[in-house]
Amino acid sequence: MRLNLKIWRQAGPRTPGRLVEYVADDVSPDMSFLEMLDVVNETLIRSGQDAIAFDSDCREGICGMCSLVVNGVPHGPDRGTTVCQLHMRRFKDGDTIVVEPWRAKAFPVVKDLVVDRSAFDRIIAAGGYVSINVGGAPDGNTIPIPKEIVETAMDSAACIGCGACVAACKNASAHLFLSAKLSQLGLLPQGQPERYQRVVGMIEQADTEGFGSCSNEGECEAVCPKEIPISNIARMTRDYFRAAWTAGK
């Protein structure tokens, strides 16, 4: 396939960026989207030009590093799929593809398609630790937990912290990410001692980082590569109100 690419190039955080046109030739339908960009970069490097900067690590949909907006959609057109797992067979010969970085004030562009997502690390740190002594690995059945609860907590733990939910939201809200991280602990007995201080700490840190509020658009759920449901946000909001009420705020 021959594809026309329009790729966001930006030399640094304070430099204005722009879309630059490239042609990708001999693209195999079996290539992943990132492999296609690798080939474009090899061509740029061979001709002495600056390679396009983009993030990736596992390329298996598990680390959350890849972060491209493809034709206006974070992670591209395939539902429940990270952009590293998106394949070029999804496109047709002659297509024009626009590639941009996550866009949110709290995720400033570092270079080209790379954004700084360290705000998520600070939110996780604000959640603090689980204080109970868990000791060694216990037998699986020493703490009886209903299967439905375990599965909901595990589904929440599938969040890879990619930030696509923020990129898709018109408010740049991090609520889907926050609520997934809070649910994976808040649903389980081990997460109860700090459940309410954790929700307050993480939401306040998200506000400090400049993420917006949730207005129930549902865009986050639509683009989440791990299909985290927005029902987590309702659970987080209930916990937050309970924590605020108890603290007399």
Closest separation in Å from C-beta 158 to ligand SF4: 7
**Which residues, numbered 70-89, are part of the site for ligand FES (CB under 6 A)?**
82, 84
Cα distance between residue 64 and residue 202, in whole Å: 20
Cα distance between residue 168 and residue 145, in whole Å: 34
- Report if residue 56 touches ligand FES, rule: CB under 6 A: yes
**Which residues, numbered 150-179, are part of the site for ligand SF4 (CB under 6 A)?**
159-165, 176-177
Q: Out of ligand SF4, ligand FES, none, which partner does residue 164 contact, by CB within 5 to 8 A per kind?
A: ligand SF4
Task: Let me know if 78 is exposed, middle or buried by CB neighbors in 10 A (0-12, 13-18, 19+).
Answer: middle
The residue within the footprint of ligand FES, chosen from 65, 70, 88, 115 (CB under 6 A), is: 65
Q: Out of ligand FES, ligand SF4, none, which partner does residue 177 contact, by CB within 5 to 8 A per kind?
A: ligand SF4
- Report if residue 32 touches ligand FES, rule: CB under 6 A: no
- Report if residue 66 touches ligand SF4, rule: CB under 6 A: no
Cα distance between residue 112 and residue 53, in whole Å: 5
Plot region of 26 (φ>0 → left; ψ -120 to 50 → alpha; else → beta): left
Integer angstrom CA distances of residue 9 from 51, 117, 204: 10, 18, 33
Residues that bind ligand SF4 (CB under 6 A): 159-165, 176-177, 180, 224-226, 228
